[in-house]
Copies of this chain bind each other. A is one copy, B any other.
Amino acid sequence: MAVGLIGTGMMGVPMGLRLLAAGHDLRIFNRTPVKAAPLLAAGAVWCDEPMALAAASEAVITLVGGPADVEAIYLGPEGLIEATAPGGLLLDMTTSSPALARRLAAAAAARGLDLLDAPVTGGVGGARDGTLSILVGGEAAALERARPLLQALGRTVTLQGPAGAGQRAKLVNQTIVATTLLAVAEGLALALEAGHDTKALMAAIEPGTAGGFVLNNHGRKMLAGDFAPGFFVRHLLKDVELALAAGEEEGLRLAGLALVRDRLRRLVEVGQGESGVQALLLAVERTEDA
């Protein structure tokens, strides 16, 4: 399929490489052209602006920074919804806001386009290995059109509901992950501060009620003092802010998540924005801080 990809960052590059490997023709655009180099080397074609890319593609995937970028690319002057011919297929795989996803879908429908929100979980490793979980919001028929592309990118592709539901599912996931990181950080801080034998501790608690991906992965990194990024603090902060806003739209005040946001902000302020999210351990408060 002739596919356009806008956004060739940490996720976009490995995802684009998988589309090329699956035999799709790939046109790309990125605000920072140098980041697209690995895709150009693998056979992708550069486009100087999104309109030209849209005109030449049967389907366009966007993977940009956040809702403001998404809004500009889709709804701005010379935006994708204007630039795409009726019958076109647009997939926003950026983690963004459910409300914006609904606005995009309505604007697309008015022009006879299919549009899906399709954010992912599984990180850079999942993007490279094609094992992402892709959370889709929109019409089932549009998902069937997109499936050949999505199957090259992810292992699990689930229709979460109408437009916006993919974004909401992603934000539910990030809400749980973010506050579970706080849980693990506070528990392990107690062990570390007391000089507890953390090997004996993990042997006892990992298989039990405290066990899960966050303890087994991020928790082990906390104990090792390894704050190298898998997923950046500043990216989790962005997702947490989106989730808090989505909660407010539903009339919810997610107080645990707000506490995590405050800690992530503090980490960014002290220059830890590009540490891995397990750096939340460093934000556990001491009584003398109070």
Complex Cα–Cα for A143 and B3 (A): 65
CB distance from A222 to the nearest CB of B (A): 12
CB distance from A170 to the nearest CB of B (A): 9
Q: Give chain A interface residues in 80-102, CB to chain B under 8 Å.
A: 98
Say if the beta carbon of A183 comes within 8 Å of chain B.
yes
Is there an interface contact between A190 and B168, defined as CB atoms closer than 8 Å? yes
CB distance from A117 to the nearest CB of B (A): 13
Which residue of chain B has the shortest Cβ distance to A178 in the bound complex?
A: B183
CB distance from A285 to the nearest CB of B (A): 4
Is there an interface contact between B159 and A172, defined as CB atoms closer than 8 Å? no
Please name 16 further chain A to chain B contacts, defined as beta carbons within 8 Å, in addition to the given A160-B200, A172-B201, A193-B250, sorted by A numbering: A168-B194, A175-B187, A176-B183, A177-B210, A178-B183, A179-B183, A179-B187, A180-B180, A180-B214, A182-B256, A186-B256, A190-B243, A193-B252, A252-B285, A253-B284, A256-B259
Taking beta carbons and an 8 Å cutoff, which residues of A are in contact with B?
Answer: 98, 121-123, 133, 135, 156, 158-161, 165, 168-169, 171-173, 175-180, 182-184, 186-191, 193-194, 196-197, 200-201, 203-205, 207-215, 217, 243, 246-248, 250-257, 259-260, 284-290
